[in-house]
Structure 1
């Protein structure tokens, strides 16, 4: 019985990752890797600072990975991905806009 479960699991992973491998699967995997990289960037930055920080690179990885995942969702017609990443990408873009705005305001204050 355990052997049957193992064979079924092998067949499942073969079907999902090998038999169905195409451009969109590769694109989706790259999108997920890019999206995951944001957590590594945030973790490394926080460890270096000795406190929790969210560097600008976190938001760029979020936006890049989110946009790619949104494109993947659109291509695959996945409504859960489309809704989730569509809304999340707006938040990432807004955070980048706020950071840029505040950096500009901070530099103007320093120039006075």
Structure 2
């Protein structure tokens, strides 16, 4: 009897999808969610807005994707993610700084 589609998929996953690829996919998923969040907030406001969660998704996805890029030993991918992390961290710094300054004394 021929293997079922589920059995074929399971076999393919076992052969090709190791934990680092799964981690890379998780990072890409987080990275993609930043655009979904930005789109949702902008649609609700009726104008282009970059919400705070955009930067958290960017940073989280960027860290995971940088880890994956290092594992892959891909210098282009590494440089791209490392540079992005600096921008995401700087924006989060501004957000935290402004919240700290705005808190009641």
Q: How many residues align?
A: 94
In structure 1, stretches of 5+ residues that fail to align are: 1-13
Partner of 2:3: none
Match of 1:33 among 29, 32, 49: 29
Deviations 1:7-46 (A, max 9, x none): xxxxxxx9xx744211111111111011000000000001
Deviation at 1:76, TM superposition (A): 1.3
Partner of 2:5: none
SS at match of 1:87: helix
Deviation at 1:102, TM superposition (A): 2.5
Structure number with higher helix proportion: 1
Q: How big is the alpha-carbon RMSD for the aligned residues of Structure 1 and Structure 2? A: 2.0
In structure 2, stretches of 5+ residues that fail to align are: 1-8
Which of structure 1's runs of 4+ aligned residues deviate more than 6 A?
A: none
Partner of 1:75: 71
What TM-score, normalized to structure 1?
0.75
